[in-house]
Amino acid sequence: MWTMIHEVAVVKQIKSFEKRWKHEVANVLSNLKTLHDALLAGTKLEQLKKLGFVHSEPQGVLAIDQKGHGKGTKPKALRLYVYPDFALKKLHIICLADKSQQSRDIQLVLKYVENLHRRQDETDSRESD
């Protein structure tokens, strides 16, 4: 059973973007549900990249966009960065951002994933001791 893990920071980011871009945020969250359903159906990482609203980033990170039926003529481009941990079946919801500082956001997300791996390695080595 795949569960979702979210940081307090991402909840704050969603609340912040929701004030001006509610329909886009709703689309992102609806797409997040579809991605979660795909994981529950046993979809692998390479297959997830074939979801029309998913962009592949390094280290297995996926960026979910706001594509989908919406109101307004020019939707705001958003990215919800997630990391599916296939070993523990946990979907980490890391960060919601627009594209204004995309490369910086991606670096922060990659740092999160590195820290996650480091913590897991530490836990594994403690358990083996």
**Binding residue for other proteins, selected from 1, 58, 72, 128, defined by CB under 8 A:** 1
Nearer to other proteins, 48 or 110 (CB): 48
Q: Which stretch binds other proteins (CB under 8 A): 29-37, 81-89, 98-106, 117-125?
A: 29-37
As beta bridge partners, residue 128 has: none
82-111 positions binding other proteins, by CB under 8 A: 90, 93
* Residue 76 lies near other proteins (rule: CB under 8 A): no
Choose the binding region for other proteins from 28-36, 56-64, 101-109, 120-128 (rule: CB under 8 A). Answer: 28-36
Out of 20, 46, 58, 128, name the contact with other proteins by CB under 8 A: 46
Q: What is the 3-state secondary structure (H, E, C) of 72-88?
A: CCCCCCEEEEEEEECCC
Q: Are 13 and 96 in contact (CB under 8 A)?
A: yes
Give the range of 4-12, 56-64, 97-105, 117-125 binding other proteins by CB under 8 A. Answer: 4-12
Taking the complex as a whole, how short is the minimal distance between the CB of residue 9 and other proteins, in angstroms? 9
Strand bridging mode 78-85 / 62-64: antiparallel
Within 8 A by CB and 6+ apart from 68, the residues are 27, 30, 31, 53
Torsions phi, psi of 85, nearest 5?
-90, 100
Q: C-alpha 38: how far from its chain's center?
A: 14
For position 69 contacting other proteins by CB under 8 A, the verdict is: yes
